[in-house]
Amino acid sequence: MVTGANAGIGKETALALARMGATVVMVARNAERGAAALADVRHQSGNGQVTLLLADLSSQASIRQLVTDFHAKYDRLHVLVNNAGAIFMQRQETVDGLEMTFALNHLNYFLLTNLLLDTLKASAPARIVNVSSGAHYGGQIAFDDLQLRQNYRVFAAYSMSKLANVMFTYELARRLAGTGVTANCLHPGFVGSNFAKNNGLLARLTMVLMRPFALSPEKGAETSIYLASSAAVDGVSGKYFTRKKPQKSSSASYDEAAAQRLWAVSAELTGL
């Protein structure tokens, strides 16, 4: 299963896994964009075992429905790539009344993974791959204002959510030790995808100007694909990768007490 699979890094990840012959479940939020990407991935890979499930991953009810839909069709899951994510210039709230960046980029990974965990364990060996970002290095978890009501700053919100991806991965790996399910996270590089284009003309223009310095989505997907499929990372868990190599993540990301606190508050916010 690959989330955010209709565009950018997620689509290239789904395509590569489909080319390897995997049964791939592409998750998208928009039926039209999802169907177009599904047709393209099927066509380019020649793999008919690629399907599409729809979910708005900023909504907890939609994530729960996605898991129900998945279980109606499949009883095993060997690879979950949590990839869907975005940056928001203005503070927004989800249908659950939560700040959008934290809800989409972190709580989505947290809830979807936890709801699929029994299936992943029953399918072991299995892998969880969380797409984080180098932006996490500047992040801090604002435990006293997780919803960023007092002071919304776009990069602080984004880097906090991406630090949460790393801390969630490490805590998950500790909890999964001995189960045959691994959890790793990664920075894809700076990628010329649709990223940030949801933020109006200025953001679109900036992305166009930056494009010469950006990796193609295909290149940007390489570490996700590697972590999802390479035998070289069999049994490797609890690591942060860049360019297919384990890297040291920020010192904040190794704070185990903070990771446990983040887990507890995430469980509360998602009703787990």
Ligand X SMILES: NC(=O)c1ccc[n+]([C@@H]2O[C@H](COP(=O)([O-])OP(=O)(O)OC[C@H]3O[C@@H](n4cnc5c(N)ncnc54)[C@H](OP(=O)(O)O)[C@@H]3O)[C@@H](O)[C@H]2O)c1
Catalogue the active-site residues. 158
Determine if 247 is a binding residue for ligand X (CB under 6 A): no
Minimum distance, C-beta of residue 45 to ligand X, in the bound complex (Å): 18
Q: How far apart are CA 120 and CA 233, in angstroms?
A: 17
| Residue 181 and residue 120 in contact, taking contact as beta carbons nearer than 8 Å | yes
Q: Which two tokens stand for residue 259?
A: 């990771």
Determine if 29 is a binding residue for ligand X (CB under 6 A): yes
Determine if 4 is a binding residue for ligand X (CB under 6 A): yes
Among 110-118, 193-201, 237-245, 263-271, the segment contacting ligand X (CB under 6 A): 193-201
Determine if 190 is a binding residue for ligand X (CB under 6 A): yes
- Residue 38, amino acid: L
| Residue 168 and residue 141 in contact, taking contact as beta carbons nearer than 8 Å | no
Nearest residue (beta carbon) to ligand X: 8
Own/partner contacts of 143-148, CB < 8 Å, gap of 24 or more, are 143/258, 143/261, 143/265, 146/99, 146/102, 146/265, 146/269, 147/98, 147/99, 147/102, 148/91, 148/99, 148/101, 148/102
Partners of residue 3 on adjacent β-strands: 27
Minimum distance, C-beta of residue 182 to ligand X, in the bound complex (Å): 19
Q: Which of 1, 10, 53, 111 binds ligand X (CB under 6 A)?
A: 10
**Would you say 85 or 139 has its CB closer to ligand X?**
85
Minimum distance, C-beta of residue 32 to ligand X, in the bound complex (Å): 10
Q: How many residues bind ligand X (CB under 6 A)?
A: 27
Q: Are strands 126-131 and 79-82 parallel, antiparallel or unpaired?
A: parallel
Binding residues (CB under 6 A) for ligand X: these are: 4, 6-10, 28-30, 33, 56-58, 83-86, 104, 131, 133, 187-188, 190-191, 193-195
